A and B are shown apart, each in its own frame.
Chain A
């Protein structure tokens, strides 16, 4: 019995289903799989549900011992408190706006520059091309955390700390984006390019009108990655944004949660508001999110 149950539970490891040996063992196997999957689903979704429900409750209900998952009434004061802020300055709205600007600009420039460079590396032959490609790939090994202080010195020397330029400048293009675009464009049919050249189209024109519009899936994936990286970025704004006005969402959340008298409901309301753009993107474009993660698996060697 023991060995048999081990044997059958391990059959699930083959991606294609296997013909069942017996009704009893099959149900056992399915039950175990189902149980484990539901367990992990509960684990991953509970904190998100907690955030959403707690954002609708008054603080005293959130910290009640058996947590009630269904709010008694919709306690919208949390959201008002979140937007107004503890000091009534409405700075939250400004900070959301800052995050949006930075994330959008970085996403746009990253996509465009990566596509351009990736195209140059994939479809043109020139001396030193492989060396340049290797150099760009080498930057992926430099962790941002190791260069943030010299970068900070550069930005202060340029006098653009505490500005959008300072927040955006180090993230205009990403080495990973170039790598992704190059891999994507390497299989782009050269006949299209040659046909356009014969028609007398200029090289920038070919890129803008033929290549760029034809790599939509890669663009969507990369745009999401770049947008999310900036929406999530804490460390760099921590160095660069000095005034309340130039802070981004992650900084606001840190400030808001660490203020002594912040109530828990408002804290979760802030967290929920900050997550809305990402969740909208996630549900609308889940294909590209899930695709974006798996792009990495093509990165063998």
Chain B
């Protein structure tokens, strides 16, 4: 009898606690419903309409017409190309360089902290500030020309950093690389630090070379971090906007660096074509969803125990 009573009381305490738990979580759920789930569903819904901001006419339901238009539009494909070129051209060098430098930093004892801070400091600047600095560096009379000319021993050549269609793409990649290299180095350092040193000692007793140590121990155990960094940097590159926006605003040609976010902004806000911009947003969302799914899949199959 008394045991049962005790049990009932215990249950009610738990139930009361559970209520508090729900109460703590509900505000955020309401927030996310209003500012995340509703907008993405709304974007999907709007993408089936021919809709303009400020237009008084009721929007026409045109089913998949916006998507059909986009798939035939050269401007849209150009944006896909610009985004893909930017993403691949940025995240591959970022990945390789950040892994290399994380390994290098972990191997030095002196100045470890200094290097980390020095490499990370560009990430502290906002993307608009970094774009503004590089705008001056890429000026025809600026540092970029001076230094490259010293390296190539070519005097007085202008490399058209911001004027030439190919060079302006390279320039945006360079700015992005500069800004984020330190950030990814630090993620890799954290990954390296989690590999137990005893593995290396064991390998050394077995007579492994440095090359073998890297490919047999460091790399396989770091693979989850590599996957994570590559997906994260890829997702970030897909969303790039600030640098391209400031560069085009200051006169760089728009075509080569008209990335998808800039296209969404221009179509939706400048040209008021909400339906078409929403269709583009949904395509961007699906692309990013695919890469996130890829991350989940690969990181699950690659889980390592040590």
Contact = CB atoms under 8 A, between A and B. Distances in A.
A27 interface: no
B96 interface: no
B288 interface: yes
A116 B28 CA distance: 9
A152 to B, nearest CB: 8
B59 to A, nearest CB: 12
Contact of A142 (B36, B121, B211): B36
B40 interface: yes
Contacts of B274: 149, 153
A70 interface: no
Interface stretch (A14-22, A87-95, A213-221): A14-22
A40 B264 contact: no
A297 B40 CA distance: 28
A132 interface: yes
A184 interface: no
A188 interface: no
A170 B40 CA distance: 13
B143 A50 contact: yes
A180 interface: no
Interface in A72-123: 113-114, 116-117, 119-121, 123
B239 interface: yes
B121 A234 contact: no
Interface string B122-138: 11111111101111110
A290 B186 contact: yes
A14 B133 contact: no
Contacts, number: 326
A56 interface: no
B187 A294 contact: yes
A15 B106 contact: yes
Interface in A242-264: 249-250, 253-254, 257-258, 264
A257 B228 contact: no
B204 A275 contact: no
B258 interface: no
Given A117-B28, A147-B36, A141 B265 contact: no
A146 B282 contact: yes
Nearest to B277: A149
A286 B120 CA distance: 10
A40 B181 contact: yes
B241 A290 contact: no
A233 B29 CA distance: 24
A100 to B, nearest CB: 13
B160 interface: no
Nearest to B227: A300
A295 to B, nearest CB: 9
Nearest to A114: B28
Interface in A28-87: 33-34, 36-37, 40-41, 43-48, 50-51, 54, 62-67
Given A149-B281, A154-B39, A238-B265, A13 B210 contact: yes
A201 to B, nearest CB: 12
Given A136-B28, A250-B242, A257-B250, A271 B278 contact: no
Say what secondary structure dominates the interface of chain A. helix
Contact of B135 (A44, A257, A274): A257
A191 interface: no
Given A33-B107, A132-B29, A275-B129, A293 B136 contact: no
B12 to A, nearest CB: 13
B143 A67 contact: yes
B202 to A, nearest CB: 12
A143 interface: yes
Contacts of A37: 101, 104-105, 108, 111, 115
Contacts of A126: 18-19, 21-22
A14 B43 contact: no
Given A142-B40, A264-B136, A290-B116, A297 B143 contact: no
Contact of A150 (B42, B121, B129, B204): B42
A178 B28 contact: yes
Contact of B186 (A114, A145, A169, A293): A293
Contacts of A268: 132-133, 136
16 contacts: A11-B213, A13-B107, A44-B119, A116-B24, A116-B27, A120-B24, A124-B24, A136-B32, A149-B269, A154-B35, A234-B127, A257-B246, A267-B136, A289-B120, A290-B117, A294-B190
Given A51-B133, A153-B42, A172-B31, 7 more contacts: A13-B214, A37-B101, A124-B20, A146-B288, A150-B43, A173-B31, A250-B128
